[in-house]
Structure 1
Amino acid sequence: MDTISTEVLFAILGLLILMSAYFSSSETGMMAINRYRLRHLVKQNNKSAIRVEKLLQRPDKLIGLILIGNNLVNILASAIATIIGQRLFGDAGIAIATGALTLALLIFAEVTPKTLAALYPEKIAFPSSLLLRPLQKIFTPVVWFVNFLSNGLLKLLRIDSANGGDDHLSPDELRTIVHEAGAMIPKRHQEMLLSILDLEQVAVEDIMIPRSDIAGIDINDDWELILRQLTQSPHTRILLYRDNIDDAVGFIHAKDTLRMMLKEQLDKTTLLRSVKELYFIPEGTPLNTQLLKFQRRKERIGLVIDEYGDIQGLVTLEDLLEEIVGDFTTSITPEVSDEIHQQEDGSFLVEGSISIRDINKEMNWQFPTDGPKTLNGLILEYLEDIPAPNISVRLFGYPIEVVEVENNMVKLVRIIPHLYQEKE
């Protein structure tokens, strides 16, 4: 070193600091790169992405290579800085060189390049892979020896370095990604994606048309009444039953009745011959499961039954699809807004038959959905009795006044959300 001029040593030191910055930025860029975007680019045969993915297949080897290079460069830089310090300042130059080199490495070889790599990992990782791949082959023996010792230590700690861990995303993590996608995914598409993820958390009874609201025709009624119901029904599929819904016969399609009418062949006998076989859905079936069952069975409508086989409601394929894309069909059932009426004092008159899920979605309230499915059911379960009008309760933090009770059901309540108190 004595034969090398101070100016040349400064140049070598600057080059070593640049090399240290390269290794530092490469490490951060490789570790910070988006693995899912990387896989997408690999599928598109992006050569840079393919190189980076091969390097990341064994992160222990990659990190070993980068750290070997970085430490060699930093140690050599320290030795050269010490020589320069002694030449310029004598014995005090060792301390001065140590302080100056530490500051230079922190600024130019650590903080700045790593911050840059964290902000733009692809722009750093892709070019770096051009040099890291051949370096990995050149330093294979050294990397193997270092990793052998390192992996041995990890095995003592019962850690398998070859196992990169499970990097699959959970549903909750997927929801977070969709939420944070921002402008990359339109808001409407975000809502649809989140609805798909939520299908497994919703059961058929949460969206079914309740038994009391099923529009059906009693085949034992007078023919004139049946004919009038057939011609005036707004539904394309109509349930036929004998005396009560529990004795359901099947569904008749409007197009079949129209065809028989045109041929003047419509009567009770031909009507019964045209019914479609009933499809029953067990209570508690998740919507994602039921959607697949509808698809496999080529069905569009089914009756929800409980554990005793009693009919609880009716679910259609349209109901399931609306959980994903929102309302898109014309229906005679009231909209949620029609069941909630805002008052001048800030309170809301709400019909007791409203679904808990619907009222939570419409008003962003927090009534529990793991019990009764309607507001009426929630109030009756809480009070364990049928209340009289003008009874007031605080239900799950919301002040509620019973306004109207009819046929043993709470028909109308007043909710005062601005007096809401969160339960502890």
Structure 2
Amino acid sequence: MSLFQNIVIIAILIAGAGFLSLTEIALAGARKVKLKILAEAGDERAQEVLDLQENSADFFAAAQIGLNAVAILGGILGEGAFRPYFLNFVERFYTGPLAESISFTLSFTMVTSLFILFADLMPKRLAMIAPEKIAVSVINPIQVFIKVCKPLAWVINAIANLLFRLFKVNTTRDDNITFADISAVMDAGAQAGVLQKQEHHFIENVFELEERNVPSSMTTRENVVFFTLKESEASIRQKLAEYPYSKFVVCSENIDDVIGYIDAKDILVRILNNQSLLQLNENTIRNVLTIPDTLTLSELLDRFRSTKEKFAVVINEYALVVGVITLSDIMITVMGDWVIPIDADQQIFKRDNNSWLIEGSTPIEDLMHALEIDEMPDTDNYETLAGFMMYKLRKIPRPADAVIFGDYKFEVVDVDHFKIDQLLVTRLLETTETAEEKSE
């Protein structure tokens, strides 16, 4: 054959190998979610791609048969076609015994390079750009190719399956989507600018409802405002005016003797009707939902939905009240700044780019969001920043006690009756870290 004919044959072989490489990567990399969207939109080829992915053994066997056959044939034809021309070229400069070897090496290198570049590297990179679009485009011709190679592919797959069983290798593909997968997609969307930072945190908070316990969002025991059965009318009026709550716990004598709760609007109705408030009775006191402090926020949402309640008292294993929580508290946990009033007390106050004043009762999840910390140590042992300090120090903290974790220094600023009120969190600069390492 002439040089032109050899070049045409090599080009055809390279094109065939390139098509198979392009198809292999496209079908393997095509995402099921996007293919399902195309299938639901009426593209039958997308459904065929999905079906092929479910039973991909025949395709991969056929693809490997084609790729290897083309590569071997291309090597044989290419080496024989180009070696004489390289030999003539080499003999212009060198006529020794190594001329044949040099011409063979040059011919082999050229053919191999052409196959690597045009039949392997470039098609695979193109397939990674838009795998779903390419997979849908090539599905019909590749199915014809699979049918042609099916007899030999069946034999190869039978041997492969036998070896897999022999070595107990599970070949079932796991397509379950985990929270880590969704989180990775959200991170990619945030980096690409598709999701704003606030929207990213909102979606993260929704998924965290399954992990966050009720105490991370409740109003703690010492901040609960309650009425007693013997509460005076003046005291009731004062609490209504001082605390803008819609619901108040009613207790017999102390907070652990909870009877129920009263809605502020019921009291206001009595005031508007000029009725006495001297006695809280069963007409105004409602049954209160009591929940254990071990519930997650997700479980509490289900409890609110089933009971039609929006307010609950939280008790611990010793039947002591540890706080109260409302549906609004959960919404604030999820939506953060979107629903928190502007004049509300801030638990995290940013002083500058490297320091924060943070309340000890701040939930550890909110702290991690504010400081952009991916992971805290042993989070099963505490729920707030104060709990983190006590866990790390192994004692009741005092002012000036400090803990260094990662790139931050947590220093106790104010303690009130063993309760950590406020901490100063400082980002450690490189110079500070270097000095501490040297001192250690």
TM-score tier, shorter chain, comes to: 0.7 to 0.9
Q: Does 1:393 align with 2:436?
A: no
Match of 2:42 in 1: 45
Q: Supply the distance in 1 between the matched residues of 2:209 and 2:288 (Cα, whole angstroms).
A: 24
Deviation at 1:406, TM superposition (A): 4.1
Aligned with residue 317 of structure 2, among 292, 307, 313: 307
Secondary structure of 1:307's counterpart equals coil
User: Residue 320 in 1 paired to residue 339 in 2?
Assistant: no
1: CA distance, partners of 2:27 / 2:279: 74
2:176 aligns with 168
Alignment of 1:99-114 (within 5 A): 99-114=109-124
Paired residue secondary structure (1:139):
helix
TM-aligned CA distance change 1:357 to 1:135, over 3 Å:
closer
Could you list the per-position Cα deviations for residues 18-71 of structure 1 after superposition, in whole angstroms to 9, with x for gaps in the alignment? 111111111122222223322332333323322221221122211111111222
Asked whether the 8 Å contact 1:250–1:275 carries over to 2, the reply is yes
Q: CA deviation at 1:394?
A: 2.7
Q: Is the 8 A contact 2:355 2:425 kept in 1?
A: yes
1:51-95, Cα deviation, whole Å (9 max, x unpaired) = 221221122211111111222222332333244246655994665
Instruction: Tell me the amino acid that sits aligned with residue 334 of structure 1.
Output: D
Aligned-pair CA distance for 1:314: 0.9
Mapped contact 2:29–2:131 kept (Cα < 8 A): yes
Q: Which moved more, 1:254-263 or 1:23-32?
A: 254-263
* 1:374 Cα deviation from its structure 2 partner: 5.0
Which whole-Å CA distance do the structure 2 matches of 1:413 and 1:364 have between them? 17
- SS of residue in 2 equivalent to 1:384: coil
Does residue 81 (structure 1) correspond to residue 78 (structure 2)? The answer is yes
What letter is aligned with 2:129? L
Name which of structure 1's ranges 206-215 and 320-329 shifts more when overlaid on structure 2: 320-329
Asked if 1:178 corresponds to 2:189, the answer is no
Task: Indicate which of 272, 282, 289 corresponds to 1:272.
Answer: 282
Which residue is equivalent to 2:24?
27
Code of the residue aligned with 2:70 in structure 1: it is V
Contact 1:352 1:411 in 2 (8 A): yes
Following the alignment from structure 2 to structure 1, what is the Cα–Cα distance between the partners of residues 237 and 335? Answer: 35
Query: 2:212 maps to which residue?
Result: 202
Aligned mates of 1:87, 1:400 — CA distance in 2: 77
The percentage of counterpart residues that share the same residue type is: 24
Which secondary structure state, in structure 1, belongs to the residue aligned with residue 309 of structure 2?
coil
Distance 2:376 2:170 in 1: 46
Number of equivalent positions: 413
Residue 287 of structure 1: how far off its partner (Å): 1.6
Q: Does 2:292 align with 1:282?
A: yes
The alpha-carbon distance between structure 1 residues 313 and 152, as it changes in their structure 2 partners (threshold 3 A), is same
Query: C-alpha separation between the residues in 2 aligned to 1:122 and 1:106?
Result: 24
Q: Does 1:255 align with 2:265?
A: yes
Q: 1:383 to 1:12 in 2, by over 3 A?
A: closer
SS at match of 1:99: helix
Task: State which of 55, 58, 69 in structure 1 corresponds to 2:55.
Answer: 58
Distance 1:24 1:150, change over 3 A: same
Q: Distance in 2 between matches of 1:15 and 1:411?
A: 77
CA apart distance, 1:311: 0.6
1:239 corresponds to 2:259: no
SS of the aligned residue for 1:184 comes to coil
Give the whole-Å Cα distance in 2 for the aligned partners of 1:405 and 1:97. Answer: 81
The answer to whether the 8 Å contact 1:300/1:317 transfers is: yes
Alignment correspondent of 1:336: 347
The Cα shift of 1:144 comes to 1.3
Structure 2: which 5+ runs fail to align?
Answer: 89-98
Residue aligning to 2:134: 124
Matches within 5 A, 1:145-156: 145-156=155-166
TM-score (norm 1): 0.84
Change (3 A) 1:150 1:289: same
> Contact (CA 8 Å) 2:34, 2:132: kept in 1 or not?
no
Aligned equivalent of 2:395, options 384, 401, 410: 384
8 Å contact from structure 1 (residues 51, 133) kept in 2: no
1:405: how far off?
Answer: 4.7
- Using the size of structure 2 for normalisation, the TM-score is 0.81
Correspondence 1:224 to 2:221: no
SS of corresponding position for 2:154: helix
Aligned to 1:200, the other structure's residue is in SS state coil
Work out whether residues 6 and 77 of structure 2, in 8 Å CA contact, stay in contact via their aligned partners in 1: yes
Distance change in 2, residues 1:266/1:360 (3 Å): farther
Deviations 1:218-240 (A, max 9, x none): 22122332244345541111211
- 1:276 CA displacement: 2.1
- Kept after mapping to 2: 8 A contact 1:304/1:314: yes
Deviation at 1:272, TM superposition (A): 3.0
Q: Distance in 1 between matches of 2:104 and 2:372?
A: 67
* Shift in CA distance, 291/21, structure 1 to aligned 2, threshold 3 Å: same
Q: Please, which runs of 5 or more residues in structure 1 have no aligned partner?
A: none
Secondary structure of the corresponding residue to residue 323 of structure 2: strand
